Chain A
Amino acid sequence: MSTLLHGLRCTARKLRSTPIVQRCSTKPIGMRRPFSTTIPMQDHEPEDANLSFARKKTHSHGGRRLEEEMEMMFEEQQHDELADEDDAMNQIENLMGDWDEEFEKLSEPPPERGKKSVVDTFHNYGEPNDEDEPMELDGEANESSDLYDNLSVLAHGELQQHQEIRHYARLAAWDMPMLSKLAKPFEAPTLDMPLRFRYTTYMGEAHPAEKKIVMEFCISDMPGLTQVQKDKLKKLAGVRYNPESDIVKMSCEMYESQAQNKRYLGDRVDELVKEAKDPKETFEDIPLNLKHHHFKTRPKWPKHWTLTPERKAELAAYRQTSVSSDQQKMLDGLLIDGNTTITEAIQQKSASTSAVPEMVMASRGKPGRVVSVKR
């Protein structure tokens, strides 16, 4: 389809007789901004008289070859151009009209003669088919014949996706830069702003957590508190207090609006500070409970584990001494070897038990009695 358009565009360009200067000069883009050649997809509404008229107009061309149609278009164009040459708006309108025509043509049923319009397949399942309607041979289709028959549903999906991408590309190119007007320079919080709030947005989607506000403040930044009062505030905060960062963090999503939740948190802070400043009970005798917080032990590399050249030399010297001490021990006969110990022990044992056994005459019953041996 794109090659067809492309081809069409090229041919149309060639057939134009207006000078190139006029054609290619920059023309002001009006309010309607016809920057895109994409036709916005419309539902088929036969009630729209203009549309059906336009369609009828195009359908009247049905049955002819493409070239003839193009010639016809060109004639119309020329006619139009001759009429309002300087009116760029009209030109563009005409162009748009041409493109509209072309697109509508494409979504027409193809002018096939003597054939049924659609074969019922998987791809056009569920679409209204023209089985019940009588086929018109001269191409004048019914108004109820839909746009979907020329392209499959998947192709329509692709087309829609393309349109969507272009829509967002358009936004990104033309509308997003306008956001720079709304940009505010960052101003760091001052000492009179100890509270820090976090809000959440789900980008327009309705979500139950979008009304949650999280507030945190640093205890040492709270103005007007003595050390004793700050300690009391830590104890009052309980598990909300993080001793490593000295921050109290609390959240609220009890109410329906963010403002209400924020107000609640602000009230709580005020109450906490008021209680902390209360001199009747200073909580000094109660130790701070930090069991809710896990202090991560971050081990540090022991400095003397670093293998510097000095350390390497030290280790080499140590190994050298151990080798030499072993050698010395071996020379002195003090190096103990398990295997040799065992073999020596076995040899000694066998040596002690390998004495020649004494021969004693065998006797029946009484010792010392000699029994004659039969030879």
Chain B
Amino acid sequence: MASPACWKCLSRPSPLQMTSQIQLRSATAAFSTTTPVFNVVKKKTAAGKLIQSKAGQAKTLRLKKKAPVKMGKPPAPGERKAMRKRVVLSNTNALAVPGMQDLKKDIVGNLGKEFVGRVLGIEGKTVDALRAAEAFKPHQSWCFFRRPGILIREETIVLGEKIIDAEKEGGLKLVLDGDRVTGKSLMLVSALAMAHVRGWIVLNVPEAQELTNAVTDYAAIEGSKLYSQNTYTASWLTAIAKTNAAILDKLKLTQEHPEVPIPLPADITLTRLCELGARDPEISWPILQALWKEMTANGRPPIIMALDGLQYISQDSLYRTPDFKPIHSHDLAIVDHFLAYLSGEKTFPNGGAAIAATSRSHAPTSKSMELAIRKSQERQFGGRVIERDTWGRERYDDIRAIEAFRNDENLRSIEVFAERDPWEKNYDARSDRALAKIETMKLAGLSRIEARGLMEYWAQSGLLRKQVDEKIVTEKWTLAGNGVVGEIERGALHMRI
């Protein structure tokens, strides 16, 4: 603080001087108009407390943690799962494709070469049935289009013919194989749609890994070495009932079922039987057995059973016995039931099909299954493995490539006749036996005609803002590794620049 006395002068300030200086001080503008505040006790705020520590030490800031405020309502149990697994099958923003035919009963029987490359729509009833059967998967691109439709490929025509043939006694045992995103699951959807349209009973296991990765409860069945999965069976019965409501409502119990613990009324419909099993998981497995017996009785329609993820059921499951030994997946009742028909051990009395698709993205390797598929291909092609080579098939465009492949030994794989490796330890003996007599269909890229048809469908739906000519079709086809469907989708449908 400046002293009012002048430092140079030894004289004391006079009162006059003081007043003048005071006046001077008031005459000059203050730097700030805020009144200086001294010695104020700081309020302890909620944010933090500035702790004036002892002299010489640094100040610390101690923040008090606030309890988080709960905003909004937490999702109900099961809501997140439902959101994750929801399938949207329609988009009103997409355009309706003019002249789009539907997959009908007579068309399935008469699918000819003129249908290759066309996209056929699925009727409403079939869509509801397949949705109940969980045939549509969340990661597939149904949500882009006005209504679900399936592309008719050459393989679809072949599959249609096989399904027609399977309506007789015996049935079809088919495995769908191919590289990643080549359309195996969608081929399953086509098969289920075609079967449903023809009036078959549809049973679908959408993910085989749900059966074998020990997420559902399991219990040993007394009197056999099989294990039942009650909760899964109960939910499956619900799905079966919903999918095949149209058929099962009209069918009634015709036989006695002593294996079912509860007394069954004699005159119930099969839908009601499914409901009985669905609401009580304890009896779901016997009910399913009873249902199966009814469905395979005389005069009943053919049955199609589809399963996605064959590798998971070709090895040990993740379940354990009470002795902590691993349970083989073939010892699970549902898997055993499916494989009985796939292996040919049992046949469909009224005709039917057991179709399994492999999964090539993030699925375990099953050496037995690979060998079985190779041997099946060799059987079908007369001893020579027609591997899909890198430059594709081009069935209608360029037959030269196929001929050259067939004639040139250097191009074929080294082991033309697949043999069981004597030194390989990871074969699964039970899978070897189960898959010994399967028929396989190996999927590869689309041909250019099919690709063009698909891209025209996208353009007509308003999703592909390009002129669909040979140039763009060839471009997308080539970039997709010679026509792999999933890659064409990635390039033209999802990644829209």
Of A289, A291, A325, A337, the contact of B470 (CB 8 Å cutoff) = A325
CA distance in complex: A347, B404 (Å):
52
CB-based contact B408/A302 at 8 Å: yes
Taking CB atoms, residues of chain B closer than 8 Å to A287 are: 422-423
B186 lies within 8 A of chain A by Cβ: no
Chain A residue, CB-CB nearest to B95:
A345
CB-based contact A338/B464 at 8 Å: yes
Q: For window 449-483 of chain B, which residues contact chain A by CB distance below 8 Å?
A: 456, 458-460, 462-470, 474
| A300, A303, A323, A341: most-surrounded residue (chain B CB, <10 A) | A341
B414 lies within 8 A of chain A by Cβ: yes
What 0/1 pattern do residues 314 to 343 of A give for CB contact below 8 A with B?
000010001101100000000111110110
A304 lies within 8 A of chain B by Cβ: yes
B410 lies within 8 A of chain A by Cβ: yes
CB-based contact B469/A297 at 8 Å: no
Taking CB atoms, residues of chain A closer than 8 Å to B456 are: 336
CB-based contact A338/B423 at 8 Å: no
Taking CB atoms, residues of chain B closer than 8 Å to A337 are: 459, 466-468
Chain A residue, CB-CB nearest to B423:
A289
Taking CB atoms, residues of chain B closer than 8 Å to A326 are: 469-470
User: In angstroms, how far is the closest chain B Cβ from the Cβ of A283?
Assistant: 13
Of A291, A303, A322, A341, the contact of B462 (CB 8 Å cutoff) = A341
Taking CB atoms, residues of chain B closer than 8 Å to A325 are: 470
B264 lies within 8 A of chain A by Cβ: no
CB-based contact B401/A342 at 8 Å: no
CA distance in complex: A289, B401 (Å):
36
CB-based contact A339/B470 at 8 Å: no
Taking CB atoms, residues of chain A closer than 8 Å to B464 are: 338
User: In angstroms, how far is the closest chain A Cβ from the Cβ of B427?
Assistant: 14
CB-based contact A335/B469 at 8 Å: yes
Taking CB atoms, residues of chain A closer than 8 Å to B467 are: 335-339
Q: Give the A interface residue count (CB, 8 A).
A: 23
Q: Tell whether A338 pairs with B404 under 8 Å between CB atoms, given A287-B423, A289-B423, A291-B423.
A: no
Taking CB atoms, residues of chain B closer than 8 Å to A318 are: 397
Of B404, B422, B459, the contact of A302 (CB 8 Å cutoff) = B404
CA distance in complex: A289, B411 (Å):
26
Q: Tell whether A304 pairs with B400 under 8 Å between CB atoms, given A335-B467, A341-B460, A342-B462.
A: yes
CB-based contact B466/A341 at 8 Å: no
CB-based contact A300/B462 at 8 Å: no
User: In angstroms, how far is the closest chain A Cβ from the Cβ of B455?
Assistant: 8
Chain A residue, CB-CB nearest to B403:
A304
Chain B interface category by residue count: 20 to 34
CB-based contact B459/A303 at 8 Å: no
CB-based contact B469/A338 at 8 Å: no
CB-based contact B463/A338 at 8 Å: yes
Chain A residue, CB-CB nearest to B464:
A338
Taking CB atoms, residues of chain B closer than 8 Å to A339 are: 465-467
Chain B residue, CB-CB nearest to A330:
B469
CB-based contact A322/B465 at 8 Å: no
Taking CB atoms, residues of chain B closer than 8 Å to A341 are: 95, 459-460, 462
Q: For window 17-63 of chain A, which residues contact chain B by CB distance below 8 Å?
A: none
CB-based contact A338/B470 at 8 Å: no
CB-based contact A338/B462 at 8 Å: yes
Chain A residue, CB-CB nearest to B389:
A302
CA distance in complex: A297, B460 (Å):
46
CA distance in complex: A303, B460 (Å):
40
Taking CB atoms, residues of chain B closer than 8 Å to A291 are: 423
CB-based contact A297/B410 at 8 Å: no
CB-based contact B408/A323 at 8 Å: no
CB-based contact B465/A342 at 8 Å: yes
Of B95, B414, B422, the contact of A297 (CB 8 Å cutoff) = B414
Chain B residue, CB-CB nearest to A348:
B95
CB-based contact A338/B468 at 8 Å: yes
CA distance in complex: A345, B459 (Å):
12
Taking CB atoms, residues of chain A closer than 8 Å to B400 are: 304
CA distance in complex: A345, B391 (Å):
39
User: In angstroms, how far is the closest chain B Cβ from the Cβ of A130?
Assistant: 64
CA distance in complex: A77, B463 (Å):
109
Taking CB atoms, residues of chain B closer than 8 Å to A295 are: 414
Taking CB atoms, residues of chain A closer than 8 Å to B408 are: 302-303
CB-based contact A323/B95 at 8 Å: no
Taking CB atoms, residues of chain B closer than 8 Å to A336 are: 456, 459-460, 467-468
Of B95, B391, B404, the contact of A342 (CB 8 Å cutoff) = B95
CB-based contact B401/A338 at 8 Å: no
Q: For window 164-203 of chain B, which residues contact chain A by CB distance below 8 Å?
A: none
Chain A residue, CB-CB nearest to B97:
A341
| B414, B458, B462, B474: most-surrounded residue (chain A CB, <10 A) | B462
Chain A residue, CB-CB nearest to B422:
A287
Taking CB atoms, residues of chain A closer than 8 Å to B463 are: 338
> Can you report 30 residue pairs joining A to B where beta carbons are below 8 Å apart?
A287-B422, A289-B422, A297-B414, A300-B410, A302-B404, A302-B411, A303-B408, A304-B400, A304-B401, A305-B391, A322-B470, A322-B474, A325-B470, A326-B470, A335-B467, A336-B456, A336-B460, A336-B468, A338-B458, A338-B463, A338-B464, A338-B465, A338-B466, A339-B466, A341-B459, A341-B460, A342-B95, A342-B462, A342-B465, A345-B95
Q: Which residues of B contact A (CB under 8 A)?
A: 95, 391, 397, 400-401, 404, 408, 410-411, 414, 422-423, 456, 458-460, 462-470, 474
**A291-B423, A341-B95 provided; 4 other pairs, C-beta below 8 A?**
A303-B404, A318-B397, A325-B470, A337-B468
